[in-house]
Amino acid sequence: MAKFLRIAHRGASGSFPENTCLAVEKAIEARADMIELDCQLSSDGHVVIFHDERLVRITGAGGVVNRTPLEQLKKLDAGGWRKAAFKGERIPTLEEVVALVGGEADLCLDIKQYPGSPPGIELKLLFILSHYDYLDRTIISSFDYDCLRRVRELGPEARLGVIYGTGIEENPFVIAAEIEAASLHVQKELASREFLQTGWELGLDAFVWTVNELREMEDFASLGVQGIMTDFPERLWRLEKR
């Protein structure tokens, strides 16, 4: 079984509230090699760690992230939806997360673009990561390929990942070649041996998401993927022991 990166999807989100500092801390405790997190801009241009367009699923509040200023976002509870004990967890900024990780793991940042998103997240990501000397330890990924094109234009040295899942019509291999991506992040249902082989022949690493069952982890590890994204990073160590 080839060595692969253990990637914590939205932090250790299977047991803790996703995209929070607590989920990041628990992913580090689980010895994840890389932590995957979602990024978007608040209405006043701060890079915040949050997946959904709307706030309601996680915080219970109305409205959307990109029309809400950071000061207001920071007042919302991002943990209580999972468990009462997690109440009081806040929506973190990218700066807070990078400082928290402190070199203990690499990062994979998924840029989320929704209608009305303020422009400029690509430059802000590159600036923050460069400021914290974390650019070379980060993969910037997105379903929005135009966004990845802008990152490449602004950051020739950035490592890019092309996310590919159900419903995407563009050819991910063509996009990866165009933007000189380092990796393909493929939905597990689409990660056939033939698909993976095509990517490898183009020199691309293959990360598969979201793999939570031990048997599936074994299958993808046996295929030779370079990374497995999971909500339960601690299970990947059980896989190694087996």
Residue 51: which of 142, 160, 156 has the closest Cα?
A: 142
Alpha carbons 186 and 169: distance in angstroms, whole number: 14
Report d(CA 169, CA 103) in Å as an integer.
37
> Distance (Å, rounded) from C-alpha 172 to C-alpha 176?
6
Cα three-residue angle 174-175-179, rounded to 5 degrees: 120
Annotation says 131 is catalytic: no
Tokens of 116: 């009305």
Tell me the C-alpha distance between 1 and 219, whole Å. 10
- With tokens 């006043």, the residue in question is 44
The helix, strand and coil proportions of the chain, stated in percent and rounded to the nearest 5, come to 40, 20, 40
3-state secondary structure of 237: helix
Which of 46, 51, 131, 185 is an active site residue? 51
Cis peptide bond prior to 59, omega within 30° of 0? no
Backbone angles phi, psi at 105, to 5 degrees: -160, 160
Q: Is 185 a catalytic residue?
A: no
Positions of E strands within 64-165: 106-111, 138-142, 159-164
What is the set of active-site residues? Answer: 9, 51
